[in-house]
Amino acid sequence: MLADANGAIAYDGSNYRAYDGEYAFHPGWAAQSAQSTQFAGSAQAIDGVSLELTTVPEPRSSAFLLGLAAGLLVLMRRHRARFSQPAQ
């Protein structure tokens, strides 16, 4: 979600819109533990989780780069083949 004053999704007094950009987000949770002396004056472990977001490029970007590399290889081979033929 992206903050947007004209967004269709309202939450807690703010408006948002759905993200529709080039990258996909894959949420994950990571377990974490912390020591705290804030509770009852003694060290206590506090267990919890934190949200981790990983961005992943869309497959079309990878496919484009792979196709571009393959096309360059084909052009290089044709160029070499043309200039390596013996003179007649």
- Domain membership of residue 10 (yes or no) is no
pTM above 0.75, yes or no: no
Claim to verify: residue 62 and residue 88 sit in the same structural domain: yes
In a domain, 45, yes or no: yes
pLDDT of 64 > 70? The answer is yes
Tens digits of residue pLDDT in 8-63: 888 888 888 887 776 676 667 777 766 666 656 666 666 777 777 777 766 777 78
Please report the beta strands in the chain, taking only residues with DSSP state E, as ranges in sequence order: 2-3, 9-11, 14-17, 23-36, 44-57
HSE-CB at 46 with a 13 A cutoff on CA atoms is: 10
Number of compact structural domains in the chain = 2
Print the domain residue range for 75: 58-88
Task: Give the Cα separation of 35 and 30 in Å (integer).
Answer: 17
Mention every residue, 6+ apart, whose C-beta is less than 8 A from residue 18: 1, 2, 9
Q: Are residues 67 and 82 in the same domain?
A: yes
Kindly tell me the burial class for residue 16, based on how many C-beta atoms sit within 10 Å of its own C-beta (0-12, 13-18, 19 or more).
middle
